[in-house]
């Protein structure tokens, strides 16, 4: 494998790992939340992402990522739409 092809493959794999870590973070945050329906009286149910988290953890472990380390939140400043001050441009549009 040529060096450029190896480098491109490593970049794609790093992007995949980053996406899985962000998805895992979002699911962990929302796991166990209670949702309310819009009916009267509101129906309540708890969401569980246990199966999805197990699948993501298995994929990360196959890639050699230690899933027992603390989760780091996704950083807003790494977003391409940010201008470097760690606040997205539309943050005050509410």
Domain boundaries, the chain: 9-68
pLDDT at 92 over 70: no
- Asked if 45 contacts 34 with a C-beta cutoff of 8 angstroms, the reply is yes
- Over residues 55-90, the pLDDT tens digits come to 999 999 998 888 888 877 777 665 555 444 445 555
pLDDT of residue 79: 52
CA 94 to CA 60: how far, in whole Å?
A: 37
Average pLDDT, the chain: 81
- Over residues 5-41, the pLDDT tens digits come to 878 887 888 888 888 988 999 999 999 999 998 888 9
- Asked if 28 contacts 71 with a C-beta cutoff of 8 angstroms, the reply is yes
């Amino acid at each position: 494998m040529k060096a450029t092809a190896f480098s491109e493959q490593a970049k794609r794999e790093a992007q995949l790992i980053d996406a899985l870590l962000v998805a895992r973070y979002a699911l962990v945050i929302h796991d166990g939340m209670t949702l309310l329906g819009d009916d009267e009286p509101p129906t309540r149910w708890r969401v569980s992402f246990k199966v999805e988290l197990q699948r993501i953890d298995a994929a990360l472990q196959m890639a050699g990522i230690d899933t027992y380390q603390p989760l780091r939140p996704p950083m807003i400043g790494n977003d391409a739409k940010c201008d470097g001050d760690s606040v997205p441009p539309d943050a005050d549009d509410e």
